Amino acid sequence: MIRLLLAFLILVFLSPLARATDPGTLNILSATDTKAIKSLINKFELLNPDIHITYQEFDANELFETIRKHRDNPSYPVDIVISSAMDLQVKLVNEGMARPHSLVGAIDIEDWAQWRNELYGFTFEPLVLAYNKGMFPEAMHPKTRSDLASIMRDFPVFFNNRIGTYDIRDAGSGYLFATQDAIQSNQIFRLMESFGRANPRTYCCTSDILDDIARGKLILGYNLIGSYALARARQNPDIGVLMFNDYTIVMARTAFIHRDAVHVSHAKRFLDFLLSNAGQEAIAKNSDLIPLLREYRTALAPFEDTSPFLPIHLGVGLLTYQDKLKKRNFLANWEASFLLKKLLLPQWSNRLRTKSVDSN
């Protein structure tokens, strides 16, 4: 009886550590919605029955800080790191947190989606505008970001407190997307000012914005991760997705093998799988993500000829807006734009009384 109790206590108190260090375990830390990637993980485990994946979900900034916090703790259980915040991934790799790996049996990967044989993009995910079809009439749909800014300025009552986007102060991916917008267009702060006048709601992540679009709390959401938005639109006919004609930024979800990975061979097999032909097909068929390989990007077929895709390039260039001074200045400009309505409250109140739009 005493032996049985002792065995039970060992199982209760040591099982998390035991699972993390078990030879058949692969520990993945990721800033990817679990429900979006779960089926893909199940597919890998089916093809590799000797490997069991332990998956932990974080937001992008939390993941970044967790990896840095444990940089001098080689016993911390992490084998693979996955994130949509490409700049934060580059920063970790640049700080020596990755183990090099030459892929085996990989597809032909374009230069923009790989860096130093350490960091690999395995998805192709455009940033989109998602909207509530019942609230946002087709006649109002913008073709460009300039159109969107004009529409928001012209119909303040209609959009007031019903636009969602990232709070880039806290959302790592949102900060990346905003800085990439600034690189592509010097008019982006005009758009941000229009957002500010519309009293926007800010969020941590795409899924929360999509939830409020579906509930009718929001008319639209800006710079959302396209894979999540398109998946939600397939499930909910009330949600629509737009991509602009001026440009569409594309994010690649990236992965690297951690420098102190315990299960290195398993990690290599997983990375090889993600970027193999079979893995790319599995991403298309067994997840809500969009694969890197064009022949499997069927979800983007309606947009391929109308939206100029501009992939974010992996490399040290992504560290520009991670510079402390640049980041502080960028966030200050963003906050000033988003606080514009409060600064102009008297003018705003007068305008609200005189302008409206029929939403039917």
Res 337: pLDDT: 82
pLDDT digits (tens, 9 = 90+) for 194-210: 999 899 999 999 999 99
* Euclidean distance between CA atoms 285 and 255, whole angstroms: 20
Res 186: pLDDT: 79
Please say if the pLDDT value at position 6 is more than 50.
no
Please say if the pLDDT value at position 357 is more than 90.
no
Token digits of residue 106: 């990989």
Strand partners for 130 = 221, 241
Across 319-343, b (16+ Cβ under 10 Å) vs e yields eebbeeeeeeebeeebeebbebbee
Q: Cα 243–173–296 angle (5° rounding)?
A: 50
**Which of the residue ranges 219-223, 317-321, 333-337 would you say has the lowest mean pLDDT?**
333-337
pTM of the model: 0.87
Res 251: pLDDT: 97
Q: Are 261 and 78 in contact (CB under 8 A)?
A: yes
pLDDT digits (tens, 9 = 90+) for 72-88: 999 999 999 999 999 99
Domains and CATH numbers, the chain: 20-124+252-303 (3.40.190.10), 126-250+323-354 (3.40.190.10)
* Euclidean distance between CA atoms 291 and 232, whole angstroms: 17
Give strand ranges (E) for the chain.
25-31, 52-57, 80-83, 98-99, 114-115, 119-121, 125-132, 163-166, 201-203, 220-225, 239-242, 248-251, 254-258, 309-311
**Which of the residue ranges 115-124, 277-286, 302-311 would you say has the lowest mean pLDDT?**
302-311
Cβ neighbors of 257 (< 8 A, separation 6 or more) are: 79, 80, 98, 99, 101, 118, 264, 267, 268, 271
Res 21: pLDDT: 57
Res 241: pLDDT: 97
Please say if the pLDDT value at position 279 is more than 90.
yes
Q: Are 188 and 145 in contact (CB under 8 A)?
A: yes
In the structure, what pLDDT confidence band is assigned to residue 20 with cuts at 50, 70 and 90? low
C-alpha separations of 291 from 41, 72, 220, 274 in Å: 14, 34, 25, 9
The two counts, helices (H) then strands (E), for the chain are 15, 14
In three-state secondary structure terms, 2 is helix
pLDDT digits (tens, 9 = 90+) for 134-188: 999 999 999 999 999 999 999 999 999 999 999 999 999 999 999 999 999 877 8
